[in-house]
Amino acid sequence: MKFGNRVDIKEIELRNVCLREGNGVIWLDDVSVKFQPGQTAFFKGEQVASNILKLAAGLLTPTLGQVLINGNDIHEMDFEEFLPYRLNLGYTFNLGGILNNRTIKENLMLPFLYHGAPIEFAEKEVQEILDLFELNRYQDYRPAGVPGVVRKLACIGRTLAVTPQVLLMDDPTSSMKPNVVKRLKSWIEERREEAPLTVLVASDHDEFFSDWNYQVYGIENGRLKTLDEPRKKVAGL
Amino acid sequence: MNATLRLADDIGHRLMNMFSYTFSVLSMIYLSFRTVMFDQAQGFRAIFSVVSAQIYFTGWQALPLIGALALATGAVVIMQSTAQLSRLGGAGMLGELLVAVIVREIGPLITALIVIARSGTAVASELGNMKVNRETEALEAMGINPLSYIVFPRIVGGIVSVVCLAFYFVLIALLGGYLVSYFFHDLSFVFYTDTLAQALTPFDVWFFLLKNIFGGTFIFVVCCYQGLLVKESPSEVPQVTTKAVVNSIIYVVGFNLILSLLSYVEQLTRYGIL
């Protein structure tokens, strides 16, 4: 069961996107790329890679160019028009992104409660995530009182709990134990057995996912390049 | 000539900035209310919990401070007024004077200043820190409009709190102030309440509500606006908080002054003086 009025995401496209700052820094220059349902892609290049995910999530507005979902320019939509797409776009933060005045469990419950999902359903979905990442003992703590990795897991868990069709993950594996990464991978694989799940990751550590079929992109002078790197197998995963 | 032009240019520039800022602040009020009206997807349950938290922090927790200030202000104003009016033989005007000074002017002003100092700073710094920690981005990513989840509840909670606190201030100032002054002046309670009841008109009630509703709106919308101006650095938070306090005071005092001037011009016109 999915809550909220959602629109299936059939394609995400960045068309001739430029991203520049007032001080002259060019993050992206004429970038065009498309993602289909079920695709996995890694973007390498720290801040620039994060910006691509933020553009796709509608959290950043390009200086030039368009970000299209199902052929519709998301920056021509207002908040309410974009909402049915947004509920199927799950963005996880590298740093921050967790509400400091709410407990870890309240953070996970928030999207369900705000969008009017039944409380029993929300409790069940959130409990599944708390179990998955072993967050049960931290659930009643506020973010300031828990380790950084717990905050990050809560942020990822909050996104997974609402089962979006597209996962946009900003450096999800940094500072995480291999067994936690393995559980995250298993969760994604299980969901992929049910329906196509697009996974776009900004990270230099694609080796954790080396048994998946994915595309690696690098960014050089603002231009997107396809990288053909050898994939490594990591022992223990 | 050049100096005059520069001065004119400077004044014009400042005025344009002020109008632009006011327009942005007013737009924020409109957008936050519009979002709540038209966004069908949101849960009012979540918004209501933020409104009630705001009323608790701004209204309930400020009661002791407002009460103490009201008591002191009321006592001083009543003692001074009684002494001066008795000397001039105008003791019967005590009620009108207290309504004009406490209900119309001091009550709304001191309440607003206390709320700015206690809650305006808290709201501006909280929202600034939320921006730094990417909490507002996270809300957007979850499909939660920050205008309806952050700004709207603070404005509504702020208005309710300011109106209730001002009413509480006036009540304590008039009744508590009488009790304190009773030890120094032989003022009959029946005479006191009677002169107050005769002086208080529906116009005073509207005037009181208008000042407090708009005062509460200005305080919280300016503080929210300033807090959300933070970009990425924690060092910006104290800067926007200071600016939020200064701008809130300017808007509230300015609005109260304009309203008071209009009401006295109207009174003077009514009495045929103007």
Note whether B135 contacts A93, CB cutoff 8 Å: no
- Give the residue ranges of DSSP H helices in chain A: 46-56, 79-86, 104-114, 119-132, 148-161, 178-194
Q: Cα distance from B221 to chain A (closest Cα, Å)?
A: 20
Q: Cα distance from A74 to chain B (closest Cα, Å)?
A: 14
Note whether A97 contacts B142, CB cutoff 8 Å: no
d(CA A42, CA A225): 11
Is the Cβ of B260 closer than 8 Å to some Cβ of chain A? no
Is the Cβ of B41 closer than 8 Å to some Cβ of chain A? yes
Residues of B in contact with A159 (CB under 8 A): 141
Tell me the pLDDT of chain A (237 aa) as tens digits.
Answer: 677 788 999 999 999 999 998 788 888 998 999 999 999 998 987 778 889 999 999 999 999 999 999 999 999 998 888 999 999 999 999 888 999 999 999 999 999 988 888 899 999 999 999 999 999 999 999 999 999 999 999 999 999 999 999 999 999 888 888 888 899 999 999 998 888 999 999 988 877 777 888 888 888 888 888 876 545 434 333
Note whether A113 contacts B145, CB cutoff 8 Å: no
Residues of B in contact with A57 (CB under 8 A): 141
Note whether A58 contacts B140, CB cutoff 8 Å: yes
Q: What is the CA radius of gyration of chain A?
A: 18
Q: Cα distance from A111 to chain B (closest Cα, Å)?
A: 6
Q: What is the model's pLDDT at position A1?
A: 64
Q: What is the model's pLDDT at position A220?
A: 84
The residue among A50, A60, A79, A106 with the most chain B CBs within 10 A of its CB, best to mutate, is A79
Q: Which of A132, A75, A147, A110 is nearest to B47 (CA)?
A: A110
Residues of A in contact with B43 (CB under 8 A): 113-116
Note whether A97 contacts B46, CB cutoff 8 Å: no
Is the Cβ of B43 closer than 8 Å to some Cβ of chain A? yes
Residue ranges, chain B, pLDDT below 70: 1, 40-43
d(CA B256, CA B216): 12
Phi, psi dihedrals of residue A90, rounded to the nearest 5°: -105, 115
Q: Which of B110, B69, B58 is nearest to B249 (CA)?
A: B110
Continuous segment of H or E residues that includes residue B72:
helix B63-88
Tell me, what amino acid is at A135? L
Provide the angle, in degrees to the nearest 10, between the axes of the packed helices B152-171 and B63-88: 40
Are B82 and B91 within 8 A, CB to CB?
Answer: yes
d(CA A85, CA A8): 7
d(CA A175, CA A94): 10
ipTM above 0.85, yes or no: yes
Q: What is the model's pLDDT at position B43?
A: 65
Note whether B134 contacts A79, CB cutoff 8 Å: no
Are A217 and A43 within 8 A, CB to CB?
Answer: yes
Note whether A114 contacts B133, CB cutoff 8 Å: no
Note whether B134 contacts A95, CB cutoff 8 Å: yes
Note whether A155 contacts B138, CB cutoff 8 Å: yes
Phi, psi dihedrals of residue B194, rounded to the nearest 5°: -65, -45
Chain A, chain B: beta-carbon pairs less than 8 Å apart? 80
pTM of the complete model: 0.87
Note whether A97 contacts B134, CB cutoff 8 Å: yes
